[in-house]
Structure 1
């Protein structure tokens, strides 16, 4: 690639609590509401979880689906949806507020609040415990629409509606190069050494190791979403889903299929349980077999654009401009149905999942009120909020507790912090 230079509750070891005598985990602690001191139950997950609860040996209690690799890399495991209606969804804390005052001071944002510490509004870009902001990097002139941190590299890549791709040095935080893409960027994903960037009427592809550059033609209009599974690249476009197959002999991507069925543009894609899931402006989610590339089910419970999809453990999560997040689970006959609906006050734009530093699953949920809300799963207890001057459309998860949020002013780097133990 040629570039032109350019509130997690704290965990306490309570006196007099012998975990060897009681291996039961505190139900209220899992929901973030335990106020017993000392508590007779565990305030941590069991030290030896069952093998089915781990991902790639990491020991994460719940797992978020990753896509599979290219260039002969072994596929990473996707979740298997089971007939298990988890009744804990949203049972406790779904309406819990982190704090009464959770609005950012507009005068502080502009740099001229005269109340200082006495101001009743927040003078911070976040609210909640267990995570903190490490850096705020500017450079893009419009909304950041994609963030990728390739594994094993010291570079982070961002794309924007300002038609550029920028490379950033992860050590110094400096922008090291800019590419003008000649079109507004709808999305970007990374897989192994490859970067895929969706622009109007094409997908731009770079190999970050060899500097090979490709342009995949075929899309009509903007490319809104992409996902990779094994050697297949799927792209959500105005006219459906286009599929390319990676050819390891020529080291290129060749047209493989076109999936039709949605009446309007496809704006979200995810792979899990040997299925492709697509969300559309037509308010529906379609389930596709990855073996036959045929649609096997259409989900119609949303009543506005399905903006983002996420596979977590045995569940599919979807969010929409209808102000809801829906949790789907498979029935006995294999079809998906809604197990839980979480309601927000604003349209929901993006979902990402990651474990915190205690390996507890956290959902990052961007809404069109310029906030990202952080929820514990499966309770949907609110852990905190992240604020921005403009809509946050890009969220990326990195290693070692890092995550990134991008808006119209640039992007911020965040990190989960280690819990504090008091003995």
Structure 2
């Protein structure tokens, strides 16, 4: 899938428009609910609504391993600090977060405490810490090396959260339209900064949050036909991204390009749309092989490529880099 010229994360508009669907994988029987790349960009891990976890080798574009989690279910899968292990949420029996060795399909550790469904997991970009949010209206901070939760925040609604690219702060957002930033070293002292969004953006369902790779922007994904792009330093709304469709009001997970210049998201017309983060305007529409709404988009952090998924998994790359 990659050529021999080494990694590149620069993506101008011409390069963006040159991306095409290179591989289509049909391993899942129900929609993909999470996708993450390894830090070196050479592996991808997915969790699906059919209680499975799939690992892909991106040098070939082929599935390299699958893990069934029929008893516990699987959601929000993330590579741990290296690509030999992963964490994932449970959708059945209990709400435990499970730490999985991918080498031998054995669980290393269990993280218990949430009393309702885990709705989001985020790994720190530079160590073994991770965040979890849940329908129980708590945010929890964990370390892979210990069973005990390092910190708990009780909130007034279900939250969304993410680490900044340096792993020094994290942001938490709630359905009341408030975004708060915390210093990881002193999160128990409360937020060091809080932003309120305009009233018209408070009544849409916030479903996930992502810092841009440059750390200057925060993207709020929703279950509507709008996404909110916020300046991470001032809290000012840079853009409300519109033009795509979300007729089923599902959680559409968008992604920044690794240079932070573009955002790509799926749409109910089975297309993908790309916006410029500078202008907030749509700059390209991708025709896709998806037969349902591609609810998930995830950019490779190292190479110029991304993945889109409903229950079909599609890998997008410049056509000259594609191995068949």
Matched, 1:412 2:304: no
Task: Return the alpha-carbon distance in structure 1 between the equivalents of residues 117 and 261 of structure 2.
Answer: 33
Asked if the contact 1:353–1:363 (Cα under 8 Å) also holds between the matched residues in 2, the reply is yes
Aligned to 2:184: 290
Task: Return the alpha-carbon distance in structure 2 between the equivalents of residues 255 and 360 of structure 1.
Answer: 32
Q: Which has the higher contact order (CA 8 A, sep 6+)?
A: 1
Aligned to 1:241: 139
Matched, 1:173 2:65: no
Q: 1:319 to 1:137 in 2, by over 3 A?
A: same
Structure 2 unaligned residues grouped into runs of 5+: 1-6
TM-score (norm 1): 0.59
1:106-163 deviation digits (Å, cap 9, x = unpaired) = xxxxxxxxxxxxxxxxxxxxxx931111111112121101223324596542211111
Q: For 1:282-361, what aligned pairs fall within 5 Å after superposition?
A: 282-293=176-187, 294-295=190-191, 296-301=193-198, 302=201, 303-312=203-212, 313=214, 314-329=216-231, 335-344=234-243, 346-347=245-246, 349-355=252-258, 361=261
Task: Return the alpha-carbon distance in structure 1 between the equivalents of residues 51 and 265 of structure 2.
Answer: 25
Aligned to 2:4: none
Matched, 1:136 2:24: yes
Task: Return the alpha-carbon distance in structure 1 between the equivalents of residues 41 and 320 of structure 2.
Answer: 24
Matched, 1:260 2:154: yes
Aligned to 1:198: 89
Larger radius of gyration: 1
1:216-247 deviation digits (Å, cap 9, x = unpaired) = 11122221211122332101111221111243
Asked if the contact 1:282–1:305 (Cα under 8 Å) also holds between the matched residues in 2, the reply is no
TM-score (norm 2): 0.75
SS of match in other structure, 1:129? helix
Matched, 1:385 2:286: yes
Structure 1 unaligned residues grouped into runs of 5+: 1-56, 63-127
Task: Return the alpha-carbon distance in structure 1 between the equivalents of residues 66 and 75 of structure 2.
Answer: 20
Paired residues, what number? Answer: 287
SS of match in other structure, 2:254? strand
1:229-270 deviation digits (Å, cap 9, x = unpaired) = 2332101111221111243xxxx4531111122x22224534
Aligned to 1:232: 129
Alignment root-mean-square deviation, CA: 3.3
1:249-300 deviation digits (Å, cap 9, x = unpaired) = xxx4531111122x22224534357431224455543333322222342534
